Amino acid sequence: MSLFGFLFGKKEEEARPSQQQSAARPGAMAPGTHIAYSPELVDELKQEHQQLIAVFQGIAEAFGEGDLAETCRRLETFRGGILAHLLKENVRFYIYLEHALAGDPTSHALMHQFRHEMDGIGKAVVAFLTKYSEMATKPELAASFGADLNAVGGVLVQRIQNEESNLYPLYLPAY
């Protein structure tokens, strides 16, 4: 069982999209955009989630060992990964859905709720990363790091589970 499966109680085959979804028409553009449907996108985003969780766990391990320099290096790795992931979601996923769901007010509203919530989470994660980026040279920051790390981790795991269960299924080819 993968780390994803461990965290969310899903077997890997349950976490993969169906063959029908994978065989959906690549290249179907969202109305009014040049953003094409990509049958691989959801798998890529889920794989990035797993990678981000693994890096996050590495941060906790380095901190648990008292290695503040390594903790900071892993925080920077996490920063790069989460920012790249958020950018991909914003450009390739949310903009596509914005246009593809325009005719479905309920799904459109759900997508907007997710996007607005993610904006807030993204800002909080960046603030966390900025606050602790110099922990190796300011060890007094270590006193609050563990609690903040656990809080951020809890929010991220909950968000990932919610996205994968409720938001990602909305990503379908536009007809």
Q: How confident is the model at residue 35 (pLDDT cuts 50, 70, 90)?
A: confident
Quickly state the pLDDT bin for 4 (edges 50, 70, 90).
very low
The pLDDT, as a whole number, for residue 175 is 62
Collapsing DSSP to helix, strand or coil, 134 comes out as: coil
Alpha helices of the chain — where are they, by DSSP H?
3-8, 12-15, 19-22, 41-64, 68-88, 95-100, 105-132, 142-162
pLDDT in tens, 133-151: 999 999 999 999 999 999 9
Angle, helices 41-64 vs 142-162, to 10°: value is: 160
Convert the pLDDT of each residue in 86-109 to its tens digit: 999 998 999 999 989 989 999 999
**pLDDT for 23:** 38
